[in-house]
Structure 1
Amino acid sequence: MKRISIQSEFIKLDQFLKLADCVPTGGMAKALLQEGAVRVNGESEERRGRKLYPGDTVEVDGEGSFEVTAGS
């Protein structure tokens, strides 16, 4: 599982997918979510604006698993 550090209280899912290098653009993040290829904390997620907090896990088909961590 890869750890992705954020500097704020939360990050939106579409921004996280770009930060984790799963997609290069927000439009591609939207398409990936609509395909049902993303799970947050084990549950399928389609909302681009879903807020992720440190401790949340994100699984992306073909990309792997990621954990949101708090930056220092």
Structure 2
Amino acid sequence: MEIKLNKEFITLGQLLKVTDFISSGGEAKFMVNELNISVNGERENRRGRKLFSGDVVIIEGKKFEVI
């Protein structure tokens, strides 16, 4: 699934909300440690991680490409 940017970047926490893995931003703090998340092939658990165009994020086996 493609995630289109309106700005220069999106944070991992915002991506979790946009993709409905969480319902509020406050949940991101806990869910980044609970969910199996990788960014460009590396495990990630920082909700503030900036994602730019071209980044590939896999959350619980579902692939998202930031464009």
1:7 maps onto 2:3 in alignment: no
Cα offsets for 1:15-52 (capped at 9, x unmatched): 11111222212233222211251111111101110000
RMSD: 1.4
Consecutive unaligned residues in structure 2, runs of 5 or more: none
Runs of 4+ with deviation above 3 angstroms: none
Match of 2:34 in 1: 35
Q: How many residues align?
A: 67
Task: Calculate the TM-score normalised by the size of structure 1.
Answer: 0.81
TM-score by length of 2: 0.86
Determine what percentage of the aligned residue pairs are the same residue. 48
Q: Which structure 2 residues correspond to residues 1-72 of structure 1 after superposition, within 5 A?
A: 2-61=1-60, 64-69=62-67
